[in-house]
A and B are shown apart, each in its own frame.
Chain A
């Protein structure tokens, strides 16, 4: 994952509330099996007048040359809806490294952080102030200080991020490497919380004609006495 420390950039204002993942990347563009190239279809149905993406909508901010930069500033409850990580991929692929809003959906926050995109939650008043700035204005997002500021005035607000995620992002670490390093703990946990139920609940397996052939890795092991784990 790409590390993030500090970013100074102009920003793209999108003052719409409840921007859901179907707007960020419509479902019909989720058919790829790789993570690349989703930026092309970011906000696809708001960006173009036609289905072939030949006619850009002149009134949409991404099509207005005066707005640019690696920061997206959006209305409240950004990223609600589906769990599709394609939303974070499309923002990253388009070139956004920071999204500012007064409120983010949970799953989106995780997905963004897992892809090196920093979600910055700011008070509503500050958000409205950003929307009122002119298109030349630049912002600075500083992950170390946990602040975002308007460069021209120096006005800054701080934002929250848990220290684990902050460390990951500052260093470009990802969660999977961390979890792989926890294998011993995980195996010890499995032994400790061994459940009879678990052993008897494996998915059923079928042959190619859909005849039942047994349980997936079913281990007959009812020897351990049942003890509640709750």
Chain B
């Protein structure tokens, strides 16, 4: 029996397996940030242990940082303490930190690929569930809890049980105006918010092959939103072209060797999966969520399902959202638009939005925040003049961080307000207590910013 992509990478990283228990899995790269690491450093200290392989851990500050005036000290005391703790812990343990002010700072899942830290065939973990993003490069990448962060510090390993494998085959051409974000929202709506729990997903098929690396990252990013441990895509020439010449990728002869090795990373023709799902990409339309988990999504021209069965959870979600079961969602008024987060804050996203809004103006009643995923994305946007397009449209280009994706810093959506967001979670209160989140692609978000209402962006395409 052939091996799947997942098996190849997994098998190459198993140090040993405990009988009827998990495996000791070796971790190539460990990414850390200020929120889920302090207690792990603390635990290490209590044990009198050190960081075993500090060169394989890379840190950044993202969850808690302000997105304005980053050169000034952080105003909020607890946030400042958390960021300072990260600086001190990294210094004490010899860990590379691309912290606030550093030209490489940014959302942990944006900077990993951008710097070439993320490479095919690796195992990557981070105390953050969207670590699945890195799977776009053919890595086994998944989120871990703080106790596990401490395990990686202490031993460069985690204990993991081998997940079941699901392959999602996506075939066919996308309609114009439909983006990779729509593909993943569509898949989650079909499988539900828990439909892939216990599985690791491989995304395959001609549609995936035709996507850029940034678009692939958007898909892998949201694997966790259906409960999957992670998602991955076999690396190909698109992957190699993206990685070549990045700051942390090998160069010269080592690069050629690396590519030679990476080319073996694909699922063999006779590899077996525990579950296979087929998706026809040509039927996907721009998606929007209407509820309080990412599985509650639909095409923007569809109606919110009627609650025929009287499901209390459904009623609770619709009430929280202030929407009506059975009603259309298109045309609903919008208060905020947030374009950012590790799902959609890369340069391609910003370019696409800039292209769309060029020469247009935001609706007067909408507040629009654009938060680049990293310092490098921000600088690139400025170099390309994208910032000017945003300013002219009335959009506010802020500084990099997680921002309104989880509302840990000042960037919160007020209670009761509607926010079309390119992030990945629409949970109650995710963007601020009482905030109402509608997940969508950057294009759908941009269209809502321009009209002030939920809009099918395709009607505004030239």
B37 CB to nearest A CB, Å: 9
Number of interface residues of A (CB under 8 A): 73
State the CA gap A105–B192 with chains docked (Å): 13
Interchain CA distance A77-B85 in the complex, whole Å: 34
Cβ-based interface call for B413 (8 A): no
Which of A2-10, A122-130, A147-155, A222-230 touches B?
A222-230
B21, A82: Cβ atoms closer than 8 Å: no
Please indicate which of the listed interface residues B21, B58, B127, B128 has the most CB atoms of chain A within 10 Å of its own CB: B21
B428 close to A45 (CB less than 8 A):
yes
Find A83's partner among B145, B247, B258 (CB 8 Å cutoff).
B145
Give the nearest-CB partner of A165 in chain B. Answer: B21
A174's partner among B147, B248, B254, B316 (CB-CB below 8 A) is: B147
Which of B102, B103, B254 makes the CB contact (< 8 A) with A222?
Answer: B254
* A103 sits at the interface (CB 8 A): yes
* B55 & A26 in contact (Cβ 8 Å cutoff): no
Q: Which of B12, B20, B430 contacts A162 (CB 8 A)?
A: B20
Q: Are B96 and A216 in contact (CB under 8 A)?
A: yes
Within 8 A of A (CB), among B141-174: 143-148, 150-151, 154-157, 159, 161, 163
Min CB gap A32→B, angstroms = 7
Indicate the size class of the contact surface on chain B: 35 or more
Contact residues of B between 25 and 64, Cβ < 8 Å to A: 26, 28, 35-36, 38-39, 42-43, 47, 49, 52, 54-55, 58, 63-64
- Contact partner of B36 among A85, A174, A197, CB < 8 A? A85
Nearest-CB distance from B310 to chain A (Å)?
A: 14
Q: In the complex, A175 Cα to B39 Cα: how many Å?
A: 16
Confirm or deny: A30 has a beta carbon within 8 angstroms of a beta carbon on chain B.
Answer: yes
Chain B residues within 8 Å of A201, by CB: 116-117, 119, 248-250
Q: Are B157 and A186 in contact (CB under 8 A)?
A: yes
Q: Do A226 and B81 contact each other (CB < 8 Å), given the known contacts A16-B313, A85-B145?
A: no
Task: Mark each residue of chain A from 195 to 230: 1 if its CB lies under 8 Å from any CB of chain B, else 0.
Answer: 011111111111000100000110000100010111
Q: Is A145 positioned at the interface, with any CB of B under 8 Å from its CB?
A: no
Question: Is the beta-carbon distance between B116 and A82 smaller than 8 angstroms?
Answer: no
B280 beta carbon closer than 8 Å to chain A: no
Q: Of A77, A84, A179, which contacts B159 at CB under 8 A?
A: A179
| B140–chain A nearest beta-carbon distance, Å | 13
On whether the beta carbons of A51 and B147 are closer than 8 Å, the reply is: no
B39 touches A182 (CB 8 A): no
The reply to whether A200 and B64 contact each other, CB–CB distance below 8 Å, is no
- Known A33-B81, A114-B145, A179-B151: A202·B248 in contact at CB below 8 Å: yes
Residues of B within 8 A of A176 (CB): 43, 47, 49, 147, 150-151, 154-155
- Of B193-201, B282-290, B358-366, the segment with at least 4 beta carbons within 8 Å of chain A is B193-201
Q: Judging by beta carbons under 8 Å apart, are A76 and B154 in contact?
A: no
Tell me, yes or no, whether B272 is within 8 Å of chain A by CB: no
- A79-109 CB mask vs B (1 if < 8 Å, else 0) is 0111111101000000000000001011100
Contacts of B163 in A (CB 8 A): 106
A185 at interface, CB cutoff 8 A: yes
Q: Residues 402-419 of chain B: 1 if any A CB is under 8 Å from the residue's CB, otherwise 0?
A: 000011100000000000
List, in ascending order, chain B residues with CB within 8 A of A175's CB: 147-148, 151, 159
Given A33-B42, A163-B20: A110 touches B148 (CB 8 Å cut-off) = yes
- How long is the Cα–Cα vector from A148 to B146 in the complex, in angstroms? 29
Query: What are the 8 tightest A-B residue pairs by CB atom distance, in nearest-first order?
Result: A164-B21, A31-B78, A85-B145, A33-B38, A200-B250, A83-B143, A111-B145, A114-B147
In addition to A28-B433, A176-B147, 16 A-B residue pairs with Cβ atoms within 8 Å of each other are: A26-B433, A31-B35, A33-B81, A34-B39, A45-B429, A83-B36, A84-B35, A85-B36, A85-B147, A106-B227, A107-B143, A182-B155, A185-B15, A196-B257, A197-B258, A230-B261
A–B complex contacts, Cβ < 8 Å, 23 sampled: A20-B425, A26-B433, A27-B408, A30-B408, A31-B82, A80-B193, A80-B293, A83-B128, A86-B146, A88-B145, A106-B198, A107-B129, A162-B22, A163-B20, A176-B147, A176-B155, A193-B12, A196-B257, A197-B119, A203-B115, A204-B248, A210-B101, A228-B264
Chain B: residues with CB nearer than 8 A to chain A? 8-9, 11-13, 15-16, 18-22, 24, 26, 28, 35-36, 38-39, 42-43, 47, 49, 52, 54-55, 58, 63-64, 78-79, 81-82, 85, 96, 101-103, 115-117, 119, 121, 127-129, 131, 143-148, 150-151, 154-157, 159, 161, 163, 193-194, 197-198, 227, 229, 247-251, 253-254, 257-258, 260-261, 264-265, 293, 312-313, 316, 406-408, 425, 427-430, 433
